[in-house]
Structure 1
Amino acid sequence: MHFAPTLPPTTRPARRAGFTLIELLVVIAIIAVLIGLLLPAVQKVRDAAARMSCQNNLKQMALALTNYEVRNGKYPGSNTFGPYNGWPVLILPDLEQEAVRNTYVATANWYDAVNEVPRNSKVKTFLCPSANGARSGRSAAPGGPASYTAAAWDYSNVAVVALALLTDLGYQDPSAVWRGVMSSQGSTVAQITDGLSNTLLLVEDANRPEYWVKGKRVSDRDPSFGGDGTATGTLVGGTWADHDKGFGIEGTSADGNTFVGPCAINCNNSFEIYAFHTGGANVAMADGSVRFLREGMAIRTLAALGTRGGGEVVPADF
């Protein structure tokens, strides 16, 4: 007797379990939390990189100005008159910008038609990555209301300190010395008696001609001093080629809206030290070193750093 072989029971592939809606929501929530944790870290890295790039810009310009001083026996003046040009034109070769310098006609004014192409040339060293690099600067021609646009920059030099105003309000001690390193006549090294490492050379003054106060852009009113020669007016001076370069340290009110006052750093970008870095602004000292001045610095300390020979006592940890 033969028996038919017993066949194994039919086997079916096991069904793969999928994600339930709740599980998907949990995964999405976890991813959202991770992104929320990572974004601040990524932003901090970007901010740090921009700050370092900005510091490098100041370092290059400070070294270029040092080379100029060695060649000419003094630092250039803050402004030039007849023809009207800015001192950045003088250091373009030291910044490896010979192409721009060779097309710039220094015997003409910066706003003349012959200089239209070079004055609109963007120079990377003159732009801080934390600011709006796509903007154009704007500055007024001397002796008239005409305003000209040109390539922007985010820096400036300290020409003077408004000692009379600061002293009257009790923010500074009386002093006969109010000039900075790059005043209208410039300075020799011998005139910087406060010490090169204790004297400001270059500072950030970013995003002009946009008007910024305490981290917010202001578009519904003009600054109380705009740099156009009037008590109130349009914010100008934000082009690297123009003759309107340096400014006077005077501080603002605590809210940043009016001059003169105790607020020293990142209060107002209308011819004051202003940057888009968290907690402070970069500056270059006359010895070529670059420092980060923190918000909250006393205007008295900043004014002391601005003069070339006031003999003030500056805190070691400024």
Structure 2
Amino acid sequence: MPDPHSLPPGARSSRAGFTLIELLVVIAIIAILIGLLLPAVQKVREAAARMSCQNNLKQIALACANYEVRVGKYPPSNTLAAPFHGWPALVLPDIEQENVRNIYVMTANWYDPANEVARNSRVKTFLCPSANGQRIGQAAVPGTPGSPFSGAAWDYTNVAVVAQTLLTYLNYPDPASYSTVWRGVMSSQGSTVSQITDGLSNTILIAEDANRPEYWVKGKRVTGREPPFGGDGTGTGSVTGGVWADHQKGFGVEGTSADGNTLVGECAINCNNSFEVYAFHTGGANVAMADGSVRFLRDSMSIRTLAALSTRAGGEVIAND
């Protein structure tokens, strides 16, 4: 048998393989493809989270509509007499949360020991997938020992009123009518359908106010100072009202300054999550209307338009967009 090392070069067996340069080129191509793919994957995830959030709002809005059919009016924003509990407890059966409703004691306050397990029960429908779902909410009950109380968080709330400070800022012509005209659907003891003269499809019922008790301003978390409204008094950047069982529901639309730091102002959407419309979706926030439909409000919306959409009987003319 001839020695293979003695054969001419062309007759030797060849070995397949990559050179170092070829490997580096392949790695570079893969890195470029991944770089191109990641933004697309992130967009798909955000689109899925936004759709899931919209579905949550639709379920909550339809639950409130079912409550209106049973009781004759939408749930009240706040409980004015003991026992205190939030309106979400009233609609738990309508969002298929009988397991939580069965352990919730309606004859006790939401913050009483009897409701500790119930109020700490995480309800998926109350959480937007784009927000931090593992956080613990807190809600202040003035004058009550143990306040603020902790509980399972939620990312939505009803729009109770258009704040009189905003009406003054916008030079509305008839501030004397504030107590009746500028209320939201669930303000005070709740509205009947006949009281929503602006139309169910033109009136916001529920809006996003995400990630409480974390304090967020213009896409950044703030930890070193107190929110302009709804702080816990510690100055550490915590917003109260983020417990789904809390009986003090709703917020007054006011808007903020352009930087999102102070009330009242032109910035309407995604400026400040201290009891204003705020979401973690690119370009805007989801809201549910009184007819059960869900809309996406762009963060370029004017505060005047948001105010008009928030009243149940303001008589405003709102553009189709």
SS at match of 2:39: helix
1:76 CA displacement:
1.1
Q: Which residue identity is paired with 1:97?
A: Q
1:227 CA displacement:
5.4
Give me the whole-angstrom Cα distance separating, in 2, the residues matched to 1:225 and 1:234: 10
1:160 counterpart = 2:165: no
Equivalent residue for 2:200?
196
- Determine if contact 1:227/1:271 at 8 Å carries over to the other structure: no
Q: Which residue identity is paired with 1:160?
A: V
Equivalent residue for 1:148?
149
1:24 CA displacement:
1.4
- Determine if contact 2:206/2:287 at 8 Å carries over to the other structure: yes
1:16 CA displacement:
1.7
Q: Which residue identity is paired with 1:156?
A: T
Give me the whole-angstrom Cα distance separating, in 2, the residues matched to 1:310 and 1:109: 34
SS at match of 1:256: coil
Give me the whole-angstrom Cα distance separating, in 1, the residues matched to 2:259 and 2:244: 29
Give me the whole-angstrom Cα distance separating, in 1, the residues matched to 2:144 and 2:260: 29
Equivalent residue for 2:3?
none
Give me the whole-angstrom Cα distance separating, in 1, the residues matched to 2:197 and 2:14: 85
Equivalent residue for 2:305?
301
Equivalent residue for 1:251?
255
Equivalent residue for 2:288?
284
- Where does structure 1 differ by over 3 angstroms across 4 or more consecutive aligned residues? 9-13, 171-175, 227-234
- Determine if contact 1:54/1:282 at 8 Å carries over to the other structure: yes
- Determine if contact 2:213/2:241 at 8 Å carries over to the other structure: yes
Give me the whole-angstrom Cα distance separating, in 1, the residues matched to 2:152 and 2:98: 17
Give me the whole-angstrom Cα distance separating, in 1, the residues matched to 2:69 and 2:55: 21
- Determine if contact 2:255/2:263 at 8 Å carries over to the other structure: yes
Q: Which residue identity is paired with 1:289?
A: S
Give me the whole-angstrom Cα distance separating, in 2, the residues matched to 1:67 and 1:106: 19
**In 2 relative to 1, CA 72–231 (structure 1 residues): closer, same or farther, beyond 3 Å?**
farther
Q: Select the residue among 234, 251, 274 that pairs with 1:270.
A: 274
Number of matched pairs: 309
1:222 CA displacement:
1.4
- Determine if contact 1:137/1:236 at 8 Å carries over to the other structure: yes
1:15 CA displacement:
2.3
Q: 1:205-284 residue pairs with structure 2 within 5 A?
A: 205-226=209-230, 234-284=238-288
1:133 counterpart = 2:137: no
Identity %: 75
Q: Give TM-score scaled by structure 1 length.
A: 0.92
Give me the whole-angstrom Cα distance separating, in 2, the residues matched to 1:304 and 1:143: 35
SS at match of 2:306: helix
1:10 CA displacement:
6.1
**In 2 relative to 1, CA 213–296 (structure 1 residues): closer, same or farther, beyond 3 Å?**
same
- Determine if contact 1:224/1:233 at 8 Å carries over to the other structure: no
**In 2 relative to 1, CA 217–265 (structure 1 residues): closer, same or farther, beyond 3 Å?**
same
Equivalent residue for 1:77?
76
1:234 CA displacement:
4.4
Q: Give TM-score scaled by structure 2 length.
A: 0.92
Equivalent residue for 1:5?
none
Q: Which deviations, in whole Å up to 9, do the C-alpha atoms of 1:9-61 show, x marking residues without a partner? A: 96965222422222111111111110000000000000000000000000001
Larger-Rg structure: 1
5+ residue gaps in structure 1? 1-8
SS at match of 2:211: coil
**In 2 relative to 1, CA 246–228 (structure 1 residues): closer, same or farther, beyond 3 Å?**
farther
Equivalent residue for 1:3?
none
SS at match of 1:80: coil
Alignment RMSD, CA only? 2.1
Equivalent residue for 1:103?
103
- Determine if contact 2:138/2:150 at 8 Å carries over to the other structure: yes
5+ residue gaps in structure 2? 1-5
1:232 CA displacement:
11
Equivalent residue for 2:31?
32
Give me the whole-angstrom Cα distance separating, in 2, the residues matched to 1:189 and 1:57: 22
1:147 CA displacement:
1.0
Give me the whole-angstrom Cα distance separating, in 2, the residues matched to 1:230 and 1:19: 62
